[in-house]
Amino acid sequence: MFIDVTLVPAEIGEHQALQDCAVIVIDVLRATSTIITALDAGASSVVTVADVEEARTLAKALGEGAVLGGERGGIALPGFALGNSPLEYTADKVAGKTVILTTTNGTYTLHRSSSAAAVAVAAFINLDAAVDWGAQKLRQGAKLLLACAGTRRRFSWEDACCAGAILGRLRQELSGSVETSDGALAAEQLWIAAGRDPQRVLNSSSHGANLLRLGFADDIAYCAQLSCTDSVPQLRDKRLVLE
């Protein structure tokens, strides 16, 4: 059983073909936390797109069945109904609708991972469920890649720590029968060095500090929760859904 961690999106696919991999995409602040929350709130699916104009075009084609959400630099986009705060994605806004989401980091990483045999998303809020999903894929013979979205294509502390947390729990669940890459070992050590404390991680990261300056302290507190949902969104026909 082999687990890899890519610490920045550019590493995805560089050293391994994805066709035999199961990938868990991690963008704690905030895309994967938002995707999980939107689907928990009853959204029928989430479609991630890298380009703002592509998102607008798709929303126009889908009409009243779609909700536009997204950000650039942490700020909601003009004309979009929602930003990238998971707290905005309530049932009254998204239930029964397709959420079209474009963000600075997470949607790009999802697109880089889309050729994999299976793709799911994780954050601290669904950590235990993501571990169960990853363990199942490993037992089925797939390699597992934990793909960190980072911040503006660069390394981010919070995504690496979340990957390290998932890896540590997988070791426990699989009784140590796990081989890892150096990137995976680094992520696990970062999580240990952070005291296994999500709130500390998010408050001390540069991305977290920026969100605090922008007034998103409630988002930080929400995204720091550990395993408050059992949902694991998976990519099916270019849409993220719950199964």
pLDDT one-digit tens code per residue, 24-55: 999 999 999 999 999 999 999 999 998 999 99
Dihedral sign for Cα atoms in the order 46, 236, 167, 156: negative
Mean pLDDT computed over 136-150: 96
Q: What is the CATH number of the domain that holds 195?
A: 3.90.1560.10
Residues 49 and 17 in one domain: no
The pLDDT value recorded for residue 16 is 59
Mean pLDDT computed over 65-94: 94
Instruction: For residue 44, give the amino acid letter.
Output: S
pLDDT at 66 > cutoff 70: yes
The pLDDT value recorded for residue 74 is 84
pTM of the model: 0.96
- Residue 191 maps to a domain: yes
Report how many domains make up the chain. Answer: 2
Residues 72 and 131 in one domain: no
Residues 216 and 168 in one domain: yes
Residues 199 and 224 in one domain: yes
Q: Which of 16-20, 39-43, 76-80, 127-131 has the lowest mean pLDDT?
A: 16-20
pLDDT at 204 > cutoff 90: yes
Residues 91 and 150 in one domain: no
Residues 96 and 174 in one domain: no
Residues 41 and 78 in one domain: yes
Cα-based distances in Å from 86 to 30, 48, 229 = 7, 15, 13
Q: Which domain holds residue 183?
A: 2-26+127-231
Cα-based distances in Å from 42 to 17, 94, 99, 122 = 34, 7, 10, 18
The pLDDT value recorded for residue 14 is 57
pLDDT digits (tens, 9 = 90+) for 98-131: 999 998 888 899 999 999 999 999 999 999 999 9
Residues 138 and 77 in one domain: no
pLDDT at 78 > cutoff 80: yes
What burial letters (b/e) apply to 22-39, b meaning 16+ CB within 10 Å? bbbbbbbbbbbbbbbbbb
Q: What is d(CA 113, CA 230) in angstroms, rounded to the nearest whole number?
A: 22
Cα-based distances in Å from 69 to 24, 40, 191, 209 = 22, 16, 30, 22
Q: Which has the closest alpha carbon to 120: 239, 211, 37?
A: 239
The pLDDT value recorded for residue 106 is 87
| Lookup: tokens for 172 | 């426990």
The pLDDT value recorded for residue 215 is 94
- Residue 154 maps to a domain: yes
Confidence band, pLDDT 50/70/90 cuts, at residue 89: very high
- Residue 167 maps to a domain: yes
Q: Which residue has the tokens 């309530």?
A: 90
> To the nearest whole percent, how much of the chain has pLDDT over 90?
87
- Residue 118 maps to a domain: no
- Residue 240 maps to a domain: no
Mean pLDDT over all residues of the chain? 94
Residues 148 and 221 in one domain: yes
Residues 22 and 137 in one domain: yes
Residues 140 and 191 in one domain: yes
pLDDT at 152 > cutoff 90: no
Residues 134 and 203 in one domain: yes
The pLDDT value recorded for residue 133 is 98
- Residue 116 maps to a domain: no
- Residue 112 maps to a domain: no
- Residue 162 maps to a domain: yes
